[in-house]
Structures are given as structure tokens and as C-alpha cells.
């Protein structure tokens, strides 16, 4: 555990297993936005163990079920930022489970490609 790490001392755990937990995002992009976090302090998803990856993905699915019951979203974005160039601001691996709602943005096509805004729209409008 890193003393200064925000994710090493979670405030409200919603779900958990032996190697990971789910908490609410402190700066949600939509109602219900959750984070799936490793218990062990490790900065990058690609440095997690196989067992941690299994535990994380189990909780991603449980988080989705939780959000369906609690918020009835119309879709989801699931993503992880690895490294500062990818936008990672907290150096403790965490996966965002972001519920999406019909009409929450004008044209959501392109989804996670929106991390680079001018690359999101790759389709042709007819």
C-alpha cells in the first residue's frame, strides 16, 4: 500500500473479492460511474498478475449487473488508462465502468475512440 495513493484507501466499497474491489468514481462522468481497482498497489494493468486480471474482470461483470439494477443504463463504456500518455492520473491500476444513457451526448458513435476527440468520428454520415 502506498500511503499517498487515493485508491489504496477507498472510501466506499460497493463490491469486492480477494484481489480487487469496486468503488464509486470521485469525479463521475455519468450517474453510477464505478472503478474496479486492484487491492495490491500496482500502477499499470499490464503489470497485474493473471489472478488479479481474473479478479478484476469478474468485478467488471458484477459492476455491470449492479449498475443495471441501480441505474438502468442503456449501455456501457469500459476502459483503463495505462500511463500518463494515455491519460492515467492515478498511478494505481483501475478500470472505469461508465454507464451510458440514451441522449447523454448528441452522437456517441465512436465510443472510446473519443479519448482523442478528432479521431472519434471515423464513420460517414448519410
The answer to whether residue 126 is domain-embedded is no
Please check the confidence at residue 62 and state whether its pLDDT lies above 90: yes
The answer to whether residue 98 is domain-embedded is yes
The answer to whether residue 30 is domain-embedded is yes
What is the C-alpha separation between 22 and 59, in angstroms, rounded? 7
User: In the chain, how many domains are there?
Assistant: 1
The answer to whether residue 23 is domain-embedded is yes
The answer to whether residue 125 is domain-embedded is no
73-91 confidence digits (pLDDT tens): 999 999 999 999 999 999 9
What CATH number did the domain enclosing 43 receive?
3.30.428.10
Question: Mean pLDDT for the chain?
Answer: 91
Average pLDDT over residues 10-35: 94
- In which domain, by residue range, is 52 found? 6-120
The answer to whether residue 24 is domain-embedded is yes
Predicted local confidence at residue 2, as pLDDT: 60
Closest CA to 95 of 62, 121, 117: 62
The active-site residue out of 33, 92, 94, 96 is 94
The answer to whether residue 28 is domain-embedded is yes
Assign residue 55 a region (left: φ > 0; alpha: ψ between -120 and 50; beta: otherwise): alpha
- pLDDT confidence band for 107 (50 / 70 / 90): confident
Active site residue 94: yes
3-state secondary structure the chain: CCCCCHHHCCCCEEEECCCEEEEECCCCCCCCCEEEEECCCCCCHHHCCHHHHHHHHHHHHHHHHHHHHHHCCCEEEEECCCCHHHCCCCCCCEEEEEEECCCCCCCCCCHHHHHCHHHHCCCCCC
The answer to whether residue 1 is domain-embedded is no
Average pLDDT over residues 95-103: 96
What is the C-alpha separation between 58 and 21, in angstroms, rounded? 10
Please check the confidence at residue 72 and state whether its pLDDT lies above 90: yes
Predicted local confidence at residue 34, as pLDDT: 98
Predicted local confidence at residue 85, as pLDDT: 95
Asked whether 76 and 64 are in contact (CB, 8 A), the reply is yes
Predicted local confidence at residue 115, as pLDDT: 73
Amino acid at each position: 500500500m502506498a500511503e499517498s495513493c487515493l485508491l489504496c484507501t477507498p472510501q466506499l466499497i460497493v463490491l469486492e473479492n480477494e484481489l480487487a474491489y469496486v468503488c464509486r468514481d470521485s469525479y463521475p462522468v455519468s450517474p453510477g460511474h464505478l472503478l474496479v481497482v486492484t487491492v495490491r498497489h500496482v500502477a499499470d494493468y499490464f503489470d497485474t498478475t493473471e489472478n488479479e486480471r481474473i479478479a478484476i474482470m469478474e468485478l467488471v461483470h458484477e459492476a455491470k449487473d449492479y449498475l443495471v439494477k441501480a441505474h438502468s443504463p442503456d449501455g456501457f463504456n469500459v476502459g483503463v488508462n495505462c500511463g500518463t500518455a494515455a491519460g492515467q492520473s492515478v498511478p494505481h491500476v483501475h478500470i472505469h465502468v461508465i454507464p451510458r444513457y440514451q441522449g447523454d451526448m448528441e452522437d456517441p458513435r465512436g465510443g472510446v475512440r473519443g479519448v482523442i476527440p478528432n479521431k472519434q468520428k471515423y464513420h460517414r454520415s448519410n
